[in-house]
Amino acid sequence: MSYTGFGRSNAGVFQLAYVVPDLDAAIDTWVTQHGVGPWFTMTGFSGIEPVYRGEKTTASISVAMAFSGTMCLELIATEDNQPSVWKDHIDQHGYGFHHFGKLTTEFDAEVARYASHGHELVYQTTIPAGGRLGFIDTTKILPGYQELIEVTEATDPMFTQLYAAALTWDGKDPVRPIG
């Protein structure tokens, strides 16, 4: 078992994610009602060579991430009406909880393990910093998808930086760009 720069093992859930209709309003709620921040945002995310349910996709999202303790929270807003793991979930279930995030250093083995239990990889892309992410359809047994995030020399420091910012956050500058 390996550990991240912020002390989490690659075992278990490290992230809870929600699809929201308005990213700014959702961030404001988390900041004012729960004291969570700072939030790191990115717009226009579609990944590198993304594939959704076997087809190339151009779907784009805006995301915001923050830590509360060692739990990463992610807010996602769709930017278009292209078929995607986010839009289809909104169409079927509405806004709210979307997925559990799990870190892995064995992406292919994890995908195969889920497949052996009847859970299909429905979305996969590579992130600009390197590493893959994929969504496993676990909605028949869980209230959302299982996201797998491949831990690389670039992804671990990024999450560690977000975590460290939360530890020393003084309530100022609650929204910041990723990077």
Residue 175: inside a domain, yes or no? no
Residue 1: inside a domain, yes or no? no
What is the model's pTM? 0.94
Residue 178: inside a domain, yes or no? no
Residue 67: inside a domain, yes or no? yes
What pLDDT sits at residue 57?
95
**What residues make up the domain containing 62?**
15-170
Residue type, 38: P
What pLDDT sits at residue 156?
82
What pLDDT sits at residue 50?
97
CATH code for the domain of 22: 3.10.180.10
- Judge whether residue 63 has pLDDT over 80: yes
User: For residue 111, how many other CB atoms are within 10 A of its CB?
Assistant: 19
What pLDDT sits at residue 9?
67
pLDDT, tens digit, 9 for 90 and up, residues 126-174: 988 789 999 999 999 999 999 999 988 878 888 889 999 999 999 999 9
Which residue(s) pair with 78 in the sheet? 61
Residue 10: inside a domain, yes or no? no
Residue 48: inside a domain, yes or no? yes
Residue 176: inside a domain, yes or no? no
- What is the total count of domains within the chain? 1
Residue 3: inside a domain, yes or no? no
- pLDDT (mean) for 59-83: 96
d(CA 99, CA 101): 6
